Amino acid sequence: MMRFALVLGILLVSMPTINIRAQEVKKNIGIQLWSVRDNMKTDADGTIKQLGNMGYTFIEAAGYADGKFYGMEPQDFKKLLNANGLQFTASHCGKALPEKEDWDTVMAWWDECIEAHAKAGVTYLVQPFMDKKGYGSLADLKRYCDYFNQVGDKCNAKGIRFGYHNHDKEFGEVDGHIRYDYMLKNTDPEKVMFQLDLYWIMVGGKEAAQYFENYPGRFELWHVKDEKELGESGKMDFESVFKLKKKAGMKEIIVEVERYSYEPLVSVKKSLEFLIEASYVN
């Protein structure tokens, strides 16, 4: 018995140390491909492989045009992602509010766009901008809300959730109304969800927590972003915001890095590691 214990002790001492972090349960965290836009232009396959190896679980595209994603047919792009352990969950694209004479042309564009996203199995289609009309008169902002409701109706018919992504200008006022609040009140929750950018709402001088309280359930997607890499600025209180994720209606979180202290692929890796280390992200 003593000899057995001695041999067992020697075996235990000689065993390699297990990397505990490598054994952690994978967190469901997406990456907005705008963060690595130049890499996607030069080596889409290699970039996707690296993102999958880092531990991201899904992507949000920023490269739709003419029925294709980064020049690939919808099914081919989806296959590339799946082969690297990634899901095609969300996509950014859109059209500015059309004038009356352009309405049918723009609606036809949306039909083609939505069909391509449906073929790729995308869950969320997000418009990330308005043109100057959206930041002009209240009447034009109302037209934008009506427009988004109609696009959302088209998306619903194909099993896709439509949404809008903010920057900071939406938190300015027009005719006594905060634009973002007006949009929340004048879009149909069944047709339009909101992708809240946690950095841009801070730049706009507002607090995400207050919007979660005032408009519960409307913020299904979050862009988790900082000035550069996540946690870099010291200005973002992500923990307090994450405590309200149920009230917000949050379903998915997506990393976006637009400015860098490192090469883009290094920056998005550091940002992912920040969220993996954060106990409040689960």
pLDDT digits (tens, 9 = 90+) for 53-109: 999 999 999 999 999 999 999 999 999 999 999 999 999 999 999 999 999 999 999
Q: Is residue 92 in some structural domain?
A: yes
Domain that residue 45 falls in: 31-277
| CATH code for the domain in which residue 248 is found | 3.20.20.150
21 assigned to some structural domain: no
In a domain, 229, yes or no: yes
What's the pTM? 0.90
Radius of gyration of the chain (CA): 22
Question: pLDDT digits over 120-155, tens only?
Answer: 999 999 999 999 999 999 999 999 999 999 999 999
b/e 142-175 (16+ beta carbons within 10 angstroms → b): eebbebbbbbbebbeeeebbbbbbbebebbeebe
Count of structural domains, the chain: 1
